[in-house]
Amino acid sequence: MDRAQHIIESTQDIFSSMIMLDVSAGEPYSRHKTVLENSISGIIGLAGTRKGLLAIHLPKKSALAVTTAFLGMDVDEINEDVRDAIGELANMIGGSIKSALDPKGSNIQLSMPSSVFGEEYTIDCLADAEEITVPFSFDGNSFLVELQIAAE
């Protein structure tokens, strides 16, 4: 199974089971240094036999909708609850992707989740990384899940 399919299946499984949202995947592409605007990103680093990062990028409106569904409480601004929820989403998706990349479970380690929020920013990992981004949508909202892995 290719990496894009792992991202799609992992993201759809986590969103349907943990957040009770059905998300639809779009066509995978290479985001490659595209500026993110008025968004929040949850990021997990990968170390060990495979190095890179897994990130989920959500425009503010999508992040608020996801956090509201995830926590079962209304949120109307990017605050600590939203940053924690988006970081935890990255952690769950990263754990699922790790299992696909490292079936034995001991050759890749995940960092603690972090989040970045801003009006305009980029996230890059390694200059020579293989990068795949999958767009998702739900209820008129959208977000991206990105995997960057250092070339072997």
Which tens digit of pLDDT belongs to each residue from 74-131? 999 999 999 999 999 999 999 999 988 888 777 899 999 999 999 999 887 677 788 9
What does the pLDDT read at residue 120?
Answer: 94
> What number is the average pLDDT over the span 17-38?
91
Amino acid identity for residue 131 in this structure: E
Please indicate whether residue 42 or residue 152 has the higher confidence score (pLDDT). 42
57 neighbors 103 (Cβ within 8 angstroms):
no
Closest of 123, 119, 130, 61 to residue 90, by C-alpha: 123
Angle between helices 80-101 and 60-71 (to 10 degrees): 90
Residue 1 binned pLDDT confidence (cut-offs 50, 70, 90): low
Residue 12: Cβ within 10 Å count: 16
82 neighbors 71 (Cβ within 8 angstroms):
no
Spatial separation of the C-alpha atoms in residues 16 and 8, rounded to whole Å: 12
| % of the chain with per-residue pLDDT over 90 | 74
Question: What is the CATH code for 3-150?
Answer: 3.40.1550.10
Extents of the domains making up the chain: 3-150
Please indicate whether residue 99 or residue 28 has the higher confidence score (pLDDT). 28
